[in-house]
Amino acid sequence: MKASLIQHSQALLFLLTFTGTLLAHTSLSRADGSLVTDISSHLISVTSDFTGTDLLLFGTVRGDIASDGQEHGDIIVVIRGPETEVIVRKKERIAGIWANTDALEIDKVPGFYASASNRPVREITSGNTLDRLRIGPERIAFRELESRSDAVDFKRAIVRQRQAEQLYTDGQSKVYFLGPSLFRTTIHFPANVPVGTYTAEFYLFKNGDLISAQSSPLFIKKSGLGRQIYDFAQNHPAWHGLAAIIIALIAGWVASAIFRKE
Amino acid sequence: MPVYLPIAEISVNLFLILGMGGAVGLLSGMFGVGGGFLMTPLLIFTGIPPAVAVATGANQLVAASVSGVLAHWRRGNVDLKMGTVLLVGGVIGSFFGTWIFTLLKEQGQVDLLISISYVLFLGVIGGLMLVESIGALIRRKQGVVRRKKLHQHYWIHGLPFKMRFRKSKLYISALLPIGLGVLVGILSAIMGVGGGFIMVPAMIYLLGMPTSVVIGTSLFQIIFVTANVTFLHSFATQTVDVMLALLLMSSAVIGAQFGTRIGAKLRGEQLRSLLALLVLAVCLKLAVDLVLRPEDLYTIGLLGG
């Protein structure tokens, strides 16, 4: 119900921020309908048995682009999770003990990042374009809150650790063309994905030039019992605390009573 | 079988959590410690955020200590008067501890200081207990029966506000258990534990209470200290995960019942030497982690969450 509402109300959002720079590179308008895309679901519900999920992302490339000389254009799909601010701490050895000695606050850190393409992104377009569009975990636009020369080490640490947790992935899934214009890919969301508002971005390239770009929202929300518990804890923290204590008291008493009878 | 935890916001394996709860429950029932000093590191090790692990661990300890204390209560092994006096100190201490915790957290050094205080306290207490209990075991084997005085007299016995604790066969100053309660309250708020592993040996060696009463009395005051910690965390940081706590409780209370039975069959010295070994093992693990080069020198903490 919710998912269909969102699907209906969802307009095809264009990457307005990029439009200016893109227009300089290509004469094509962003709203020319050369790319039509959708996602199998715009809402992922995280219930108490959530173990991760796969989303199907698909679309078509307009006929004349698809059939002109080269078989079809190139597609890059990027999913970005909700951005948060983090503090990255660095350890150093002091008197034999490893202790945090240095810290850097970094903003605009997405909780999730995944990309897929029909061939390696470096073959599709130039490094400059990839940089500008922030394609690839190593090109995410982290923003450190204080400028310093070794900030890049801290940012690399974020990417390294998130990659280890499978939260940042790069080219793990592939975009497949089914015929000249229809394409599809699946993106895996592991069980530890953060909840929040995501965006799915689709880029169409032809001979290394960006021809069209689209972005649509994607929501990951808690639902069911877990959602109710979470809301209760957030909205009524004092009652939640009391409830937690009472549950514990009852659990302890029940266990003791059961074992006494034996 | 995976279960999604709504507050911790991760999926965990149901049987892993139940197994951990059962194992820690068994040990807590045997030794009369809440088991927080084992549970909290184990939870963090499974990937649960430290703040959630500390708060939820405290919630679980409420259930474990209730079921433990009832078993001891039926055997008449709870000194209510002593427990209440300790509790007064514990409540005062936990407020101090929370204040210190917040202060250290702002400095980004709270993890290190938690680790160091664990190593120091576990090391000293575990070492002392091991030496004492092994000595007692050897003496028993050799059949050397040394008549000990019921109580040795130190300067502390000259303190004012003397109270009679009949169950503990003590006539000591109330300042002593209150001071002990304050100390344990501070430590439990900082280290996220009930404090039984400090309380139990302190009651035996510092106050001179009989071992049989110590465990029940310690569990009695742990109920209130951990309930207080649960409430404070739930109110201030919303980090108590009831789902996780319920899973841990259901297995830990069962484990604790078996543990209490095993504990009742063991002799005091045996119990103390086993607890000492356990305490030293955890201490060693933490000490090694402090000294070994970490896999990644960088750690990521969330802000404004």
Q: What is the pLDDT of residues B3-46, one digit of tens each?
A: 888 888 778 888 999 999 998 888 877 876 667 778 887 887 78
Contact B9 A194 (CB under 8 A): yes
CA distance B242 to A247: 9
A142 and A203, same domain (yes or no): yes
A240 and A190, same domain (yes or no): no
A39 and A128, same domain (yes or no): yes
> Per-residue pLDDT tens for B198-215?
788 788 878 888 888 888
Q: What CATH number does the domain containing A55 carry? A: 2.60.40.1930
Q: Which of A233, A252, A256 sits opposite B234 (nearest CB)?
A: A233
Contact B136, B280 (CB under 8 A): no
A91 and A48, same domain (yes or no): yes
SS3 label, residue B76: coil
Contact B6 A240 (CB under 8 A): no
Quote the minimal CA–CA distance from B110 to chain A in Å: 10
- The phi-psi region of residue A196 (left if phi > 0; otherwise alpha if psi is between -120 and 50; otherwise beta) is left
The domain total for chain A is 2
Contact A86, A75 (CB under 8 A): no
Q: How big is chain A by its Cα radius of gyration, in Å?
A: 23
Beta strands in chain A (DSSP E): 35-39, 43-46, 53-61, 74-80, 83-94, 97-110, 113-117, 143-144, 168-174, 176-178, 182-189, 196-206, 209-222
A170 and A228, same domain (yes or no): no
Contact A252 B66 (CB under 8 A): yes
- Is the minimum CB–CB distance between B257 and chain A shorter than 8 Å? yes
Query: Of the ranges A17-21, A58-62, B279-283, which one carries the lowest mean pLDDT score?
Result: A17-21
Q: What's the whole-number mean pLDDT along residues A13-23?
A: 37
Q: What's the whole-number mean pLDDT along residues B187-193?
A: 73
Q: What's the whole-number mean pLDDT along residues B261-267?
A: 82
Quote the minimal CA–CA distance from B209 to chain A in Å: 26
Instruction: Locate the domains of chain B by residue range.
Output: 2-291
Q: What is the pTM of this model?
A: 0.71
A234 and A165, same domain (yes or no): no
Q: What is the ipTM of this complex?
A: 0.78
SS3 label, residue B24: helix
> Per-residue pLDDT tens for B40-69?
878 877 878 877 888 888 888 888 888 878
Q: What's the whole-number mean pLDDT along residues B274-278?
A: 84
Contact A60, A34 (CB under 8 A): no
Beta strands in B20-160 (DSSP E): none
A184 and A206, same domain (yes or no): yes
Quote the minimal CA–CA distance from A163 to chain B in Å: 13
Q: Which residues of B touch A52 (CB under 8 A)?
A: 11
Window A:42-101, CB contacts with B under 8 Å:
46-52, 84-93, 96-100
> Per-residue pLDDT tens for B152-188?
556 666 666 777 777 777 777 778 888 888 988 887 7
Quote the minimal CA–CA distance from A259 to chain B in Å: 7
Percent of chain B surpassing pLDDT 70 = 91
User: What's the pLDDT score for residue A176?
Assistant: 92
C-alpha B7 chain-centroid distance: 24
Q: Which domain holds residue A150?
A: 2-222
DSSP 8-state assignment for residue B274 = H
Q: Which of B250, B293, B303 sits opposite A86 (nearest CB)?
A: B303
A183 and A253, same domain (yes or no): no
> Per-residue pLDDT tens for A237-250?
889 999 999 999 99
A64 and A150, same domain (yes or no): yes
**Domain boundary at A222, A238, A254, which?**
A222
> Per-residue pLDDT tens for A63-102?
666 555 556 788 999 999 999 999 898 988 888 888 888 8
A130 and A245, same domain (yes or no): no
Contact A256 B71 (CB under 8 A): yes
Beta strands in chain B (DSSP E): 2-5, 10-13, 162-165, 170-173, 298-302
Q: Which residues of B touch A238 (CB under 8 A)?
A: 231, 234-235
A208 and A255, same domain (yes or no): no
pLDDT: is A36 or A255 the higher one?
A36
> Per-residue pLDDT tens for B130-148?
888 888 888 877 765 555 5
Q: Which two tokens stand for residue A94?
A: 């002091």
Contact B170, B203 (CB under 8 A): no
Average pLDDT over chain B, rounded to whole? 81
A167 and A244, same domain (yes or no): no
CA distance A202 to A204: 7
